[in-house]
Amino acid sequence: MTLSRRHLASTAALAGLVGGLAFLAMAPAAQAEGELNIYSARHYDSDAALFQDFTEQTGIEINLIEGSGEELVARILNEGANSPADIFITVDAGRLWRAEQEGIFQAVSSDTLEERIPDHLRHPEGLWYGFSTRARTLYYNPEIVDEPPSSYEDLADPRFEGLVCIRSSSNIYNLSLMASLIDVHGEEGATEWAEAVVNNFARDPQGGDTDQIKGVASGECGVAIANHYYYLRLVRSDDPDDQAVVEKAKLVWPNQDERGVHVNVSGAGVAANAPNPDAALAFLEYLTTDSAQTYFTEGNNEYPVVEGVLDNPVLEEFGVPKAHEINVSVYGENQPLAQMIFDRVGWR
């Protein structure tokens, strides 16, 4: 069933009454009108300001529960039909897909969401919506690499033998990238690519995204993959060590002559048993406002999903790359096959 702003009022009263009575029997959190229970796997300081802005604009108080995506999904499932969760927020469409598979979300729609968020950055049936984007970009050390890679496919080139640094295959960012490559090249082509990249590893996969960038700067690697905002944090840092990394490691927007850079989302959806569905939908709509989009761009160097809302001078300096406009739900649909391919080629 799709919960819609256009016909919400008639269904919300009954659902709120029935759900509210069951919830009050448990009473683990606020249920009064004008409150919203958010379970968030985003851990950025700017999100606190975003939540406060929502409260100031709407008068709706937020009760926040934080944890990893896996922990919060497990908690919602354990709470069952009486879960107080109204909104579940996490990063990466691959994680949103995992939550979707567990029945965490209910479908919602509104004119605002459909007008403000591009089709390819939201679930086709309205189970979740992307509210900011992050690009999975390439980095290289010009002292080691004469000709930088210009595409993901280039990382399979023998000229980068012993030079590639990247995270483990279980990392959700890499799973989603592989899922997109499966869509582009098919299973056989994606497998050939992964096998060639493994042959080009400079070291066993290890560490986080920032570690890959630092590996390039130190000369341990010649090229690497990491999300763009990790690099932007270093660019904006006052730490001399971070500035030294930026001097050595250079960013490349891949596949600009073809389909565009691989883009993922931070996203959210209304919980299946949300006790405050009106407030939940209002929150999703708020996330598309110019003020909310500015918090994403300024606070964590992410790109807005709403065109024309970019308030971050450093991000503007790097420009808005051409993006691969595949529907991000594909990252989840292809995720099991992506992991199988990684396992098959020995990408640990």
Span 70-83, average pLDDT:
96
Containing structural domain, residue 7 = 2-133+263-318
Q: Which residue has the higher pLDDT, 13 or 197?
A: 197
Examine the pLDDT at 95 and tell me if it is beyond 80: yes
Q: Which residue has the higher pLDDT, 47 or 44?
A: 47
DSSP 106-157: EEEE-HHHHHHS-GGGB-TTSS-EEEEEEEEEEEE-TTT-SS---STGGGGS
Count up the domains in the chain and report the number. 2
Span 2-12, average pLDDT:
39
Asked if residue 337 and residue 253 are part of one domain, the reply reads: yes
Span 139-146, average pLDDT:
96
Asked if residue 333 and residue 187 are part of one domain, the reply reads: yes
Residue 140's CATH number: 3.40.190.10
Share of the chain above pLDDT 90, in %: 83
What is residue 100's DSSP assignment? H
Asked if residue 218 and residue 269 are part of one domain, the reply reads: no
CB contact at 8 A, 62 and 3: no
Q: Which residues contact 307 (CB under 8 A, 6 or more apart)?
A: none
The pLDDT of residue 4 is: 46
E strand or H helix that includes residue 271: strand 263-271
Span 26-40, average pLDDT:
65
Q: What is the pTM of this model?
A: 0.88
Examine the pLDDT at 117 and tell me if it is beyond 60: yes
Asked if residue 60 and residue 39 are part of one domain, the reply reads: yes
Sign of the dihedral through C-alpha 71, 340, 130, 7? negative
Examine the pLDDT at 5 and tell me if it is beyond 70: no
Asked if residue 31 and residue 15 are part of one domain, the reply reads: yes
Residue 86 amino acid letter:
D
Confidence bin at 311 (pLDDT 50/70/90): confident
Q: Which residues contact 197 (CB under 8 A, 6 or more apart)?
A: 155, 156, 164, 166, 347
Per-residue pLDDT tens digits for 185-239: 999 999 999 999 999 999 999 999 999 999 999 999 999 999 999 999 999 999 9
Asked if residue 94 and residue 47 are part of one domain, the reply reads: yes
Q: How far is CA 120 from CA 108, 147, 183, 283, in A?
A: 16, 33, 14, 21
Q: Can you state the percent helix, strand and coil of the chain, rounding each to 5?
A: 50, 20, 30
Nearest to 173 by CA among 5, 51, 328: 328
Asked if residue 332 and residue 241 are part of one domain, the reply reads: yes
The pLDDT of residue 25 is: 30
The pLDDT of residue 29 is: 38
Examine the pLDDT at 177 and tell me if it is beyond 50: yes
Asked if residue 280 and residue 201 are part of one domain, the reply reads: no
Asked if residue 219 and residue 118 are part of one domain, the reply reads: no
Work out the end-to-end distance of the chain between its first and last CA atoms, rounded to an integer number of angstroms.
Answer: 40
Asked if residue 248 and residue 226 are part of one domain, the reply reads: yes
The pLDDT of residue 229 is: 95
Count of other CB atoms within 10 angstroms of residue 333: 15
Asked if residue 237 and residue 155 are part of one domain, the reply reads: yes
**Structure tokens, 106:** 């209910």
The pLDDT of residue 313 is: 87
